[in-house]
């Protein structure tokens, strides 16, 4: 008993000793940093001497002797702050307001206890790249009045500070755009960025924050775009947007019940002042002068201080005092409102008489007789209010970006002689005008067609058609008629082929059943089978793959193409089975994924079905193309385009064993961008959003030009939208699994972003995501990478040895490294979308490989050289052709088919 007690006491003393040594070591670190801080001051504060910084003026420590607060306000301090200030790991408050400190700002990265930072009113000269990274407890940040800072941008890593309440950086030389990260700050109250050089527009995420004080006034180059997001900022109390370049109308502010101060002067805002503004209960101050506001002068309640520019002509109001506008002015402003109040109208539409030098307007005897908006590139709708201009003879709105339909109310204009709405994006029925009215509607591809809401014509054209195209409008009509005839012929062929396929299938199954001594009963008229029996003559049958053509691939053809699935033809092996290389009679090379019969459980069938369904709906140059598939008894096979250079993993990890050259940095950049574009397309489909779930180097295939395509869609999930998650069984590959997915089984598109970040790390280091051959600290690539990302020297020493970059190349690598760290943030909300990755990588690729992206495609991977009639023809064909869902569950002994035309055109117009 006594021995046990002695042993216990020894253990306690040992622990006490270890704790004491630890506290002494940490305290010594704090003391060393504080000594550097004191040494950096040219005139240290009184009392800053000795070895106990906890007793120094303005310094506060906790009970264990750790420095938690440094507050030195207006002490006339000069000198520099030490770079190691972020080693004060318990620091909670840092305040050097109104001194004369200069030199570089110290990094504050990973000070997870830091809540307050006040550095305003100094002369700092640079901002480190990791300045605000990992400040998870930050609530107040103030750096204003630092006029010597070089241009710097608000980093996306600020999103780590989810408890942020106040961010103040007036006169701090901030440049670039405001990052769209404000959904991360539910407690944010003050954002003050006045007198900087910020450009761009207001980020949509402002609507998701709790901002009360918004100061963005007096930007040197000027913020621009609309201010619609203000209408969704229900907690805002003070808005300073004056002296910028904002345009468009003031939104409905009826939800901003607490707004008391609105400064909008000196912008380019247009439109009528909304009644909701003057009805706000707390409003006290409003400035509106030096804009292009139209309509009546607003009337505010007594007690509200207003400068609206009505008396000195610094707006375009119809009068100089409150009161209604003339009837014709009111009608024309409704017309302008349907066009979102273009600046071109507001600049000249002043006063209360449209017959006095109003641009685009012609009058006769004091009444509007001509409206000529031709070739002005105006977006928007044709306003039904035009019907109230009863003397109108000519309405010319050709060559704009108009959408919607022609209002039927225009038929009531008894004096109308000319209606020209040609070369727009109008749709719907053409109203029946009087016989004497010349109606021009050519150049509107969808005119006369009632389009569903999911097929808005506004996206069908990139803009107005120029006069040269307008001059050949009769030929456009001829082309449309020819295309329509072709559609009818193709439609008839499809109907005939469906009937013929079903008929042949019934006959074939019946014959096969009779041959086996059984009777085949076909009760389901919708059942579809192959019209090519397996005994067909494969010697004389060549397959040519192209869009929109169904090709049936019998098992015999695939057996012959792969030399009866010989081992010499094996390209790779996965959990589903084996991939074989094959060659058809015409020389076309294919890759055949053969799913073994032992894998044909519910999970295997589900993954087979997922791959078919996804690749039937999507097509992009950076997604591997599916040519067809085959169901043979209990066996399933998928036929892909062949990618001769194998997988990215082979070129990164085992290039020496394969006897190939290592990937250059140019090639790695190009591959990263290809993958980002492919995944961005999956995430950004107009009708559906797909989540890959198994993005990794072995699922990235390379062509002879070393351009990459994403493959293996067996684990793809359909997400309801970009913001919500899907609960699913855990699948994927360890090392690439996002932490929230591994923990909860719920996925969003951000799990693919995480995996993409891991791939970027592999491209940089040449190491695997998980590698037991590495030292323990480097075995998990992401964990190690996060530790060293702030140290350029360590990153440089850890690069793939085959890269050997010069200084210019390393700058590019460093940017990709920062993107990799951003993509693998622990919190999914702090990861960017794939579109951000594309935007980061595109200029880097362009820098290294200018003009390399020679394929004309839009963001959906659609061939922009295709004519609109061709696109419509394909869209129509896709709508008419049946889906393959019935084929996937067919249990007949043998069945083959290919996917129908991808629905990419439907998506592109929605």
CA pair distance 633, 470, nearest whole angstrom: 58
pLDDT digits (tens, 9 = 90+) for 603-622: 556 666 666 666 666 778 89
Mean pLDDT for 149-163 is 93
- Residue 789 region by backbone torsions, left for phi larger than 0, else alpha for psi between -120 and 50, else beta: alpha
Nearest Cα neighbor of 833 from 692, 731, 680, 720 is 680
Residue, of 589 and 548, whose pLDDT is higher: 589
CA 192 → CA 45, 208, 217, 256, distances in Å? 31, 17, 9, 19
Quote the distance between the C-alpha of residue 519 and its chain's center.
56
Residue, of 316 and 460, whose pLDDT is higher: 316
- pLDDT recorded at residue 619: 77
Question: Do the annotations mark residue 593 as ligand-binding?
Answer: yes
255-263 CB contacts, 8 Å cutoff, 24+ apart: 255/231, 256/230, 256/231, 256/280, 257/281, 257/282, 258/212, 258/282, 259/283, 260/284, 260/285, 261/237, 261/285, 262/286, 262/287, 263/217, 263/239, 263/287
* 803: in domain: yes
Is residue 362 domain-shared with residue 261, that is, in the same domain? no
Is residue 256 domain-shared with residue 392, that is, in the same domain? no
Is residue 90 domain-shared with residue 235, that is, in the same domain? yes
- pLDDT recorded at residue 694: 87
Is residue 273 domain-shared with residue 338, that is, in the same domain? no
Percent of the chain at pLDDT above 70? 73
pLDDT digits (tens, 9 = 90+) for 349-360: 988 999 998 999
**Residues 6 or more apart in contact with residue 611 via CB below 8 angstroms:** 626, 638, 712, 713, 714, 716
Please provide the DSSP assignment of 681-711 as one string: HHHT-SS-EEE-S--SGGGEEE-TT--EEE-
Question: How many CB atoms are located within 10 Å of the residue 466 CB?
Answer: 11
Is residue 336 domain-shared with residue 460, that is, in the same domain? yes
Mean pLDDT for 311-333 is 88
* 548: in domain: no
Residue 907 confidence (pLDDT) above 60 = no
**Residues 6 or more apart in contact with residue 199 via CB below 8 angstroms:** 175, 176, 177, 219, 221, 222, 223, 224
- pLDDT recorded at residue 616: 63
Residue 506 confidence (pLDDT) above 50 = no
Residue, of 788 and 339, whose pLDDT is higher: 339
The lowest-confidence range among 36-45, 335-344, 486-495 is 486-495
Is residue 289 domain-shared with residue 350, that is, in the same domain? no
Give the highest mean pLDDT range of 442-451, 636-645, 749-758.
749-758
CA angle at 139 for the pair 136 and 143, rounded to the nearest 5°: 105
- pLDDT recorded at residue 10: 60
Mean pLDDT for 494-504 is 52
Residue 824 confidence (pLDDT) above 90 = yes
Residue, of 710 and 450, whose pLDDT is higher: 710
* 581: in domain: no
pLDDT digits (tens, 9 = 90+) for 670-685: 999 999 999 998 887 5
The β-bridge partners of 190 are 166, 213
- pLDDT recorded at residue 75: 92
CA pair distance 634, 223, nearest whole angstrom: 63
> Across all residues in the chain, what is the average pLDDT?
79
Residue 750 confidence (pLDDT) above 60 = yes
- pLDDT recorded at residue 348: 85
- pLDDT recorded at residue 270: 94
Range of the domain at 288: 63-307
Residue, of 374 and 601, whose pLDDT is higher: 374
Q: Which are the catalytic amino acids? A: 694
* 613: in domain: no
Quote the distance between the C-alpha of residue 855 and its chain's center.
21
* Domain termination residue (choose one: 471, 505, 534): 471
Give the model's confidence band at 453: pLDDT under 50 very low, under 70 low, under 90 confident, else very high. low
What CATH number should be reported for the domain holding residue 788?
1.10.510.10
Is residue 782 domain-shared with residue 694, that is, in the same domain? yes
- pLDDT recorded at residue 461: 36
Residue 818 confidence (pLDDT) above 50 = yes
- pLDDT recorded at residue 723: 43
Mean pLDDT for 627-655 is 85
pTM above 0.85, yes or no: no
Residue, of 787 and 870, whose pLDDT is higher: 787
pLDDT digits (tens, 9 = 90+) for 59-71: 999 988 999 999 9
- pLDDT recorded at residue 483: 63
pLDDT digits (tens, 9 = 90+) for 272-314: 999 999 999 999 999 999 999 999 999 999 999 999 887 776 7
- pLDDT recorded at residue 501: 45
Burial environment of residue 536 by CB neighbours within 10 A (0 to 12, 13 to 18, 19 or more): middle
* Domain termination residue (choose one: 275, 307, 339): 307
What CATH number should be reported for the domain holding residue 365?
3.80.10.10
Give the highest mean pLDDT range of 94-108, 639-653, 768-782.
94-108
Mean pLDDT for 368-379 is 94
* 715: in domain: yes
- pLDDT recorded at residue 585: 80
* 878: in domain: no
Is residue 368 domain-shared with residue 284, that is, in the same domain? no
Residue 500 confidence (pLDDT) above 70 = no
Is residue 661 domain-shared with residue 774, that is, in the same domain? yes
Mean pLDDT for 152-176 is 94
CA 523 → CA 195, 510, 528, distances in Å? 76, 12, 12
Is residue 264 domain-shared with residue 334, that is, in the same domain? no
**Residues 6 or more apart in contact with residue 373 via CB below 8 angstroms:** 339, 360, 396, 397, 400
Question: How many CB atoms are located within 10 Å of the residue 359 CB?
Answer: 12
* Domain termination residue (choose one: 417, 449, 471): 471
Quote the distance between the C-alpha of residue 234 and its chain's center.
25
Nearest Cα neighbor of 355 from 381, 322, 329 is 329
Q: Count up the domains in the chain and report the number.
A: 3
Sheet (strand 123-126) strand order? 78-79, 100-104, 123-126
pLDDT digits (tens, 9 = 90+) for 529-547: 333 333 333 333 444 454 4
Percent of the chain at pLDDT above 90? 51
The sign one gets for the Cα dihedral 508, 509, 513, 516 is positive
Please provide the DSSP assignment of 469-494 as one string: HHTTHHHHHHHHHHHHHHHHHHHHHH
- pLDDT recorded at residue 481: 67
* 741: in domain: yes
Is residue 282 domain-shared with residue 152, that is, in the same domain? yes
Mean pLDDT for 551-560 is 81
- pLDDT recorded at residue 848: 63
Instruction: Give the chain's end-to-end CA distance (angstroms, integer).
Output: 82
Mean pLDDT for 135-157 is 94
Is residue 282 domain-shared with residue 333, that is, in the same domain? no
DSSP label at residue 347 = T
pLDDT digits (tens, 9 = 90+) for 853-894: 444 344 334 443 343 344 444 444 444 433 333 333 333 333
* 99: in domain: yes
Buried-state track 664-701, b at ≥16 Cβ within 10 A, e below 16: ebbbbbbbbbbbbbbbbbbbbbeeebbbbbbbbbbbbb
């Amino acid at each position: 008993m006594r021995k046990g007690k002695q042993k216990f006491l020894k253990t306690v003393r040992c622990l006490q000793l270890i704790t004491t040594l630890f506290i002494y070591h940490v305290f010594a670190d704090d003391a060393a940093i504080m000594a550097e801080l004191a040494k950096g001051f040219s005139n240290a504060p009184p009392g800053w001497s000795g070895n106990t910084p906890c007793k120094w003026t303005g310094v506060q420590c906790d009970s264990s002797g750790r420095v938690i607060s440094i507050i030195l306000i207006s002490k006339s301090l000069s000198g520099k702050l030490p770079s190691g200030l972020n080693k004060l790991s318990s620091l909670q408050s840092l305040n050097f307001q109104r001194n004369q400190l200069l030199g570089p700002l110290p990094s504050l990265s990973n000070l997870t206890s830091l809540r307050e930072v006040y550095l305003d009113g100094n002369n700092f000269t640079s901002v480190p790249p990791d300045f605000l990274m990992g400040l998870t407890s930050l609530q107040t940040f103030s750096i204003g009045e630092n006029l010597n800072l070089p241009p710097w941008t608000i980093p996306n890593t600020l999103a780590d500070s989810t408890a942020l309440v106040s961010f103040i950086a007036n006169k701090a030389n901030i440049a670039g755009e405001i990052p769209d990260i404000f959904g991360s700050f539910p407690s944010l109250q003050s954002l003050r960025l006045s007198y900087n050089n910020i450009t761009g527009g207001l980020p949509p995420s402002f609507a998701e924050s709790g901002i009360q004080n918004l100061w963005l006034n007096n930007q040197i180059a000027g913020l621009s775009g609309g201010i619609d997001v203000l209408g969704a900022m229900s907690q805002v109390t003070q808005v300073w947007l004056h002296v910028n370049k904002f345009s468009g109308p003031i939104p409905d502010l009826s939800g901003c019940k607490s707004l008391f101060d609105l400064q909008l002067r000196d912008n380019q805002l247009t439109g009528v002042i909304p009644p909701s503004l003057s009805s706000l209960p707390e409003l006290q101050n409003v400035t509106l002068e030096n804009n292009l506001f139209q309509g009546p002068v607003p009337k505010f309640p007594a007690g509200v201080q207003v400068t609206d520019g009505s008396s000195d002509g610094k707006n375009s109001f119809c009068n100089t005092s409150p009161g209604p506008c003339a009837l014709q002015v009111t009608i024309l402003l409704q017309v302008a409102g349907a066009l979102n109040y273009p600046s071109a109208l507001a600049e000249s539409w002043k006063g209360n008489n449209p017959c006095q030098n109003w641009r685009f307007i012609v009058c006769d005897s004091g009444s509007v007789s001509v409206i000529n908006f031709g070739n002005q590139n105006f977006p928007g709708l044709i306003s039904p209010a035009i019907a109230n201009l009863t003397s109108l003879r000519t309405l010319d709105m050709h060559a704009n970006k108009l959408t919607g339909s022609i209002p039927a109310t225009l038929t009531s204009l008894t004096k109308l002689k000319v209606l020209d709405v040609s070369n727009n994006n109008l749709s719907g029925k053409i109203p029946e005008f009087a016989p004497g009215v010349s109606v021009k509607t050519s150049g509107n591809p969808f005119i006369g067609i009632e389009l569903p809401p999911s097929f808005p014509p506004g996206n069908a054209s990139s803009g107005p058609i120029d006069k040269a195209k307008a001059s050949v409008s009769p030929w456009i009509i001829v082309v449309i008629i020819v295309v329509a005839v072709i559609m009818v012929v193709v439609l008839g062929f499809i109907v005939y082929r469906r009937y013929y396929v079903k008929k042949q299938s019934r006959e074939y199954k019946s014959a096969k059943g009779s041959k086996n001594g059984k009777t085949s009963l076909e009760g389901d008229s919708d059942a579809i089978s192959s019209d090519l029996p397996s005994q067909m003559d494969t010697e004389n049958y060549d397959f040519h793959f192209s869009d929109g053509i169904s090709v049936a691939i019998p098992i015999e053809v695939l057996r012959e193409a792969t030399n009866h699935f010989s081992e010499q033809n094996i390209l790779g092996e996965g959990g589903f089975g084996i991939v074989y290389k094959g060659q058809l009679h015409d020389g076309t090379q294919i890759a055949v994924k053969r799913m073994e019969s032992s894998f044909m459980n519910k999970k295997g069938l589900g993954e087979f079905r997922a791959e078919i369904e996804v690749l039937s709906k999507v097509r992009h140059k950076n997604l591997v193309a599916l040519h067809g598939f085959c169901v043979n008894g209990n066996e399933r096979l998928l036929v892909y385009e062949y990618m001769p250079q194998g997988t990215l993993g082979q070129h990164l990890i085992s290039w020496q064993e394969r006897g190939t050259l290592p990937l250059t940095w140019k090639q790695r950049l190009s591959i990263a961008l290809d993958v980002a574009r492919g995944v961005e397309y999956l995430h950004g489909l107009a009708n559906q959003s797909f989540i890959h779930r198994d993005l990794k180097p072995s699922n990235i295939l390379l062509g002879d030009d070393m351009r990459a395509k994403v493959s293996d869609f067996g684990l793809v999930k359909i997400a309801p939208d970009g913001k919500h998650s899907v609960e699913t069984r855990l699948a994927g590959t360890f090392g690439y699994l996002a932490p929230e997915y591994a923990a909860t089984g719920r996925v969003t598109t951000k799990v693919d972003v995480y995996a993409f970040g891991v791939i970027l790390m592999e491209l940089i280091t040449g190491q695997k995501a998980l590698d037991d051959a590495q030292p323990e600290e480097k075995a998990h690539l992401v964990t190690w990478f996060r530790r060293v990302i702030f140290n350029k020297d360590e990153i440089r020493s850890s690069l793939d040895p085959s890269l050997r970059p010069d200084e210019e190349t390393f700058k590019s690598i460093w940017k990709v490294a920062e993107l990799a760290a951003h993509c693998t943030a622990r919190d999914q909300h702090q990861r960017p979308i794939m579109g951000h990755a594309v935007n980061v990588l595109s200029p880097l690729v362009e820098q290294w490989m200018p003009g390399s992206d020679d394929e004309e495609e839009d963001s959906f991977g659609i061939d922009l050289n295709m004519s609109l009639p061709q696109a419509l023809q394909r869209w129509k064909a896709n709508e008419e052709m049946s889906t393959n869902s019935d084929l996937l569950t067919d249990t007949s002994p043998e069945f083959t088919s290919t996917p129908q035309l991808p629905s990419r055109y439907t998506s592109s117009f929605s």
